Structure 1
Amino acid sequence: MRTLILAAIATLTFAAPAFAGPVTLKANPVDSDGRVTLGDLFDGAGGASNVVVGQRAGPSIVFEAGQLQSLARQSGLDWANPTGLRRVVVRNAAMAPGASAEVTSNPAAATAAPVVARPALARTAYGERVINRNDIVEVAYEVGGVRLTISGRAEGNAAVGQRLAIRNLQSNRVIDAVATAPGQAAAGPAARASTQQLAAR
C-alpha cells in the first residue's frame, strides 16, 4: 500500500506543470516561426517558455486576455493582468522590427490596418464620405441670386451628391439637403443642381 501511495504522489508530481511564479507580459510580444509560445508572451516563463499556446497564420494573432490567463495558468504561470487589458496582439517578428508595444485594450486596434499617408486630393472623389452623423454642417440656400447660409447638425452620413437631413440648430427644423463638400451642403435649387452635375460625370 505504501508503494502504491508513493507511486501516485510521484505521478501527480510529474504530471503537474512546473510552477514558475508570477510572470510579466512583454511590451511587444512577437514570434518568429508562427508558433506562439508562453516565452514569446511573458518574461519569466521559465520551464514553460516552450509551451505552444497558438498558431499564427497571418501577420498577427490576437488573444483574449482571459483566454491568455487560462492558458498561462494551465502551465503554472500566474499573469495578474494588472492593467486590465482586454486583448493581446502577437506579431510576426520579421514584420515588426523595433515596433512599439502591441498590447492593446482597444478591441478595434487589434484588427485595424496601418494608415498610409496620401497626398491631399484636389477635390473629394464622388462616393467618398464627406459628412458624418452629428457633424456641424453649413447649408447654403441660393435662389434668385440671393444666398443664405445656416448651420445645422447632420442626421446621418453622406458622400458628395448624396441627400441627407440637416437639423437647424436655431429652429430645430429638419432640412433636406445634398452634401457638396466636407462640412458643406446645399438646399433648394442649388441642391438639385449639384445632384445633376454629379450625375453627369
Structure 2
Amino acid sequence: MKAFLLAAAATLAISALSAPAHAGTPVTLRMDTTDADGRITLGDLFDGVSGPAANIVVAPRMGPTAVLEAGQVQVSARRAGFDWSNSNGIRRIIVREGQDNGGVSTGGRALAGAARGNVEVLAYARSLSAGEIVQPQDLVWVKMAGAPMDAPRDADTVIGLAAKRPLREGAAVQSRDVAAAQVIKTGDLVTVTYDDGGISLSLQGKAMAAAATGDLFAVQNTLSKKIIQAVATGPGSAAVGPQAQGLQARSQPVRFAAR
C-alpha cells in the first residue's frame, strides 16, 4: 500500500509539473493569419501567445494558403492552456503564406484598410473581378475598427458565390458583394420543361435575362415569340409549374443569417 501511495503521489506531481503554465489565458485571433515556414503555430494564429507555446504546431501549410476548422484550432489552443472565445462564431480560419518580421508573422502583402481594431471581419485576400467565384484562399479574417452592417460571420456563406462587381483586396466582405453563380446568360438557348402528374412537356426558348439556379427569369418561346417566366434549373435548362415552385422554395434560405 505504501508503494502504491508513493507511486500515486509521484504521478500527481508529474501531472502538476506538466500542466500548461498559461491555463485559461485568453487570446485573440490575429488580424492577418499568416505563417512564414509552412508550420502553422499558435503564435502565428493568436495574439497573446508567447514562450514555447508560441511554437506549438497546429497544422502544416502545403500551398499558398491553408484552411483550418476553427473548432479544431480552439481545441489545440485549449490543450496548450489558452482560451479563444471565438465570440464571432468563426467556422474557418484561412492562413496565408507570410514573412517573418522579428518573430511576428505578417502577410506577404499588406491588406488595405486592415487597421488593428476590436472587431474580427472577413476581408478579401486579393482583388476579384466581377463574375469570379470566391475561393477559400480569397478570404482572410482581419481586425478592423468596425464591420459593415451586412458583414457575413461565416466564410462558408461567401465561398462558392460569384462577385457581383470588382472587389478590392483588403476590403471588408459584404453580403451584397456576391451572389449565386449564373448558369444562364442573356441570349442563351434554354429548354423549358413542365412536369406534373405524369404529364411532361418541353419547349425551346431564348433567355431574356441572366439567371442563377433557382432564379425566376424571362424566356421567349422561339416559335410563338411569347414571353414566359421560368425558373433556372441548370446550364441551358429551366422549369415551369410545380417543379419550378419547389425549386424556388428550396433555393431561398437566408444565406447570410447571423449565427
Question: TM range, normalised to the smaller chain?
Answer: 0.5 to 0.7
| Cα distance in structure 2, aligned partners of 1:111 and 1:93 | 25
* Match in the other structure for 1:58: 63
Q: Please say if 1:149 is aligned against 2:199.
A: no
SS of aligned partner of 1:153? strand
| Cα distance in structure 2, aligned partners of 1:9 and 1:63 | 35
Structure 1 residues 131 and 3, CA, compared in 2 at 3 Å: closer, same or farther?
closer
* Match in the other structure for 1:198: none
Number of aligned residues: 158
Determine if contact 1:87/1:110 at 8 Å carries over to the other structure. no
Structure 1 residues 8 and 156, CA, compared in 2 at 3 Å: closer, same or farther?
closer
Determine if contact 2:213/2:234 at 8 Å carries over to the other structure. yes
* Match in the other structure for 1:45: 49
| Cα distance in structure 2, aligned partners of 1:69 and 1:9 | 27
Determine if contact 1:136/1:151 at 8 Å carries over to the other structure. no
Indicate which of 17, 20, 23 corresponds to 1:17. 20
Q: CA deviation at 1:4?
A: 6.9
Indicate which of 51, 57, 73 corresponds to 2:78. 73
**Identity, % of aligned pairs?**
34
* Match in the other structure for 1:98: 110
| Cα distance in structure 1, aligned partners of 2:212 and 2:243 | 19
SS of aligned partner of 1:66? helix
Deviates more, 1:104-113 or 1:75-84: 104-113
CA RMSD of superposed structures (Å): 4.0
Deviates more, 1:18-27 or 1:33-42: 18-27
SS of aligned partner of 1:49? helix
2:238 alignment partner AA: L
Structure 2: tracts of 5 or more residues without a match:
100-106, 115-122, 124-139, 142-152, 167-184, 190-206, 245-259
| Cα distance in structure 1, aligned partners of 2:222 and 2:243 | 18
TM-score, structure 2 length as denominator? 0.48
Flag as ranges the 4+ runs of structure 1 deviating above 6 A.
1-6, 110-117, 123-127
Work out which of the two has the higher radius of gyration on C-alpha atoms and give 1 or 2. Answer: 1
TM-score, structure 1 length as denominator? 0.60
What are the within-5 Å matches in structure 2 for residues 49-198 of structure 1? 49-93=54-98, 96-99=108-111, 101=123, 102-103=140-141, 105-107=154-156, 109=158, 130-141=210-221, 148-158=225-235, 162-166=236-240
| Cα distance in structure 1, aligned partners of 2:221 and 2:11 | 87
Structure 1: tracts of 5 or more residues without a match:
118-122, 175-201
